[in-house]
């Protein structure tokens, strides 16, 4: 990593105050995204993937949470102290966010074309017809055939995959340097998922944008991400270049995720493929957060949080008391 990162989350701990206590949603999370890099964040439901992204974008309800340690710097902006004007400027141009359900991003009462023209003109001083041209160009870039006709449609007239392609086209409307995509294709069927992700990846590569790709699917990570952070119960347990982490996974949780397959850890999945569940995040957990489900857990795992260590490949790190044993 040479240039300064587009997003740097350092040692972030965040909690949601509750009556008589707090839910410790993130603990000591460090995630770094270099310019143009596609970074996967993966983990089961409730591990803190969305909270991380929302905190980075300052989209969590202000009075509902507390940052107890750490820093978030996005495109040179300190996100923990940024004022409203700073945030608006950043969200308007430098960074865009894509959510799972495209219908929430597309106003159902507006035609696609009108909506796109509005979004484009909100941040660029250009006239309607020029904005329309640009909108058509954006739709073309997402391989939407007959963009002119699609511009006249309402969101409900289009398929889920088509809607998400439009959302992605819009995310790139104002030349972002970072796109945060939170399970952008989880609501779509598998073949459409791959088409949409391939388009997202190609678009990001074309314009040199970095992508934070949140997913529960390690298959998606292996296909699309340059590097990966594996989260468990609010902590990053393993991270590094995708190839290194997925071909030589060292943390027992990463290994379990790889064995479980994507459906098993999907949100609201009925399949409990990794036996057991997340620890109660309202408790202070002195040891490794995965100890309760880990076949290798010993007394030390239950007693103290594991230190971070380096695996063989550069940049491959993990937090496990049994890191040495796991290399074999
Ligand atoms: N506003 C909030 N108030 C209290 N707790 C919250 C709030 N938002 C999230 N949480 C909690 O923080 C934890 C992490 O949630 P998060 O949404 O980040 O999980 P996730 O990894 O995105 O899961 P999924 O795969 O289901 O989307 C969960 O225990 C969740 O209940
Ligand atoms: Mg989520």
Residue 140 is assigned to a structural domain of this protein:
no
According to the model, what pLDDT value does residue 36 have?
Answer: 95
Residue to probe by mutation, ligand 1, list 16, 59, 97, most atoms within 8 Å of CB: 16
- Residue 216 alpha carbon, nearest atom of ligand 1: 25
Q: What is d(CA 234, CA 275) in angstroms, rounded to the nearest whole number?
A: 19
- Count of domains in the chain? 1
Measured in angstroms, how far is the CA atom of residue 38 from the centroid of ligand 1? Answer: 23
Q: What is d(CA 100, CA 117) in angstroms, rounded to the nearest whole number?
A: 23
Residue 16 is assigned to a structural domain of this protein:
yes
Assign residue 34 a region (left: φ > 0; alpha: ψ between -120 and 50; beta: otherwise).
beta
Q: For residue 46, what is the DSSP state?
A: T
- Residue 266 alpha carbon, nearest atom of ligand 1: 25
Give the global pTM. Answer: 0.93
Residue 142 is assigned to a structural domain of this protein:
no
- Note whether 169 and 139 are within 8 A (CB): yes
Return the ligand number nearest the Cα of 267.
1
| Domain CATH for 314 | 3.40.50.300
Residue 245 is assigned to a structural domain of this protein:
yes
Q: What is d(CA 259, CA 309) in angstroms, rounded to the nearest whole number?
A: 23
Residue to probe by mutation, ligand 1, list 21, 25, 63, 214, most atoms within 8 Å of CB: 25
CB atoms within 10 A of CB 103: 16
Task: Specify the residue for token string 């102290």.
Answer: 81
Domain of residue 63: give its range: 7-101+178-327
According to the model, what pLDDT value does residue 209 have?
Answer: 97
Q: What are the beta bridge partners of residue 8? A: 32, 73
Residue 56 is assigned to a structural domain of this protein:
yes
According to the model, what pLDDT value does residue 139 have?
Answer: 95
163-189 per-residue burial string, b: 16 or more CB within 10 A, e: under 16: bbbbbbbbbbbbebbbbbbbbbbbbbe
Residue 190 is assigned to a structural domain of this protein:
yes
Q: What is the pLDDT of residues 276-285, one digit of tens each?
A: 889 999 999 9
According to the model, what pLDDT value does residue 298 have?
Answer: 95
Measured in angstroms, how far is the CA atom of residue 146 from the centroid of ligand 2? Answer: 33
According to the model, what pLDDT value does residue 327 have?
Answer: 56
According to the model, what pLDDT value does residue 263 have?
Answer: 59
Q: What is d(CA 153, CA 146) in angstroms, rounded to the nearest whole number?
A: 11
According to the model, what pLDDT value does residue 103 have?
Answer: 66
According to the model, what pLDDT value does residue 271 have?
Answer: 47
According to the model, what pLDDT value does residue 238 have?
Answer: 97
Residue 81 phi, psi dihedral angles, 5° rounding = -115, 0
Residue 154 is assigned to a structural domain of this protein:
no
Residue 115 is assigned to a structural domain of this protein:
no
Low-confidence spans in the chain with pLDDT less than 70: 1-3, 102-103, 261-273, 325-328
According to the model, what pLDDT value does residue 213 have?
Answer: 97
């Amino acid at each position: 990593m040479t240039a300064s990162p587009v997003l740097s989350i350092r040692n972030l701990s965040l909690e949601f105050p509750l009556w008589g206590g707090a839910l410790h949603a993130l603990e000591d999370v460090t995630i770094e995204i270099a310019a143009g890099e596609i970074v996967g964040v993966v983990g089961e439901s409730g591990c803190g993937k969305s909270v991380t992204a929302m905190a980075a974008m300052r989209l969590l309800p202000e009075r509902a949470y507390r940052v107890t340690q750490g820093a978030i710097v996005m495109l040179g902006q300190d996100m923990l102290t940024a004022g409203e004007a700073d945030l608006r400027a950043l969200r308007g141009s430098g960074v865009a966010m894509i959510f799972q359900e495209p219908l929430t991003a597309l106003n159902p009462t507006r035609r696609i074309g009108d909506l796109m023209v509005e979004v484009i003109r909100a941040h660029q001083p250009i006239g309607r017809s020029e904005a329309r041209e640009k909108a058509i160009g954006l739709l073309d870039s997402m391989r939407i055939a007959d963009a002119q006709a699609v511009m006249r449609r309402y969101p409900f007239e289009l398929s889920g995959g088509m809607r998400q392609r439009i959302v992605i086209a819009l995310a790139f409307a104002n030349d972002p340097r970072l796109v945060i995509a939170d399970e952008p294709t989880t609501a779509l069927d598998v073949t459409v998922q791959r088409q949409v992700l391939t388009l997202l990846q190609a678009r990001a590569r074309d314009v040199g944008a970095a992508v934070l790709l949140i997913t529960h699917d390690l298959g998606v990570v292996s296909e699309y991400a340059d590097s990966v952070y594996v989260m468990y119960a609010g902590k990053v347990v393993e991270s590094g270049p995708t190839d290194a982490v997925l071909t030589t996974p060292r943390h027992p949780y990463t290994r379990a995720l790889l064995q479980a397959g994507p459906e098993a850890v999907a949100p609201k999945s009925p399949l409990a493929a990794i036996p057991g569940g997340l620890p109660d995040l309202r408790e202070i957990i002195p040891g490794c957060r995965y100890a309760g489900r880990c076949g290798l857990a010993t007394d030390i795992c239950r007693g103290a949080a594991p230190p971070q260590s380096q695996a063989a490949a550069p940049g491959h790190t993990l937090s496990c008391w049994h890191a040495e044993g796991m290399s074999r």
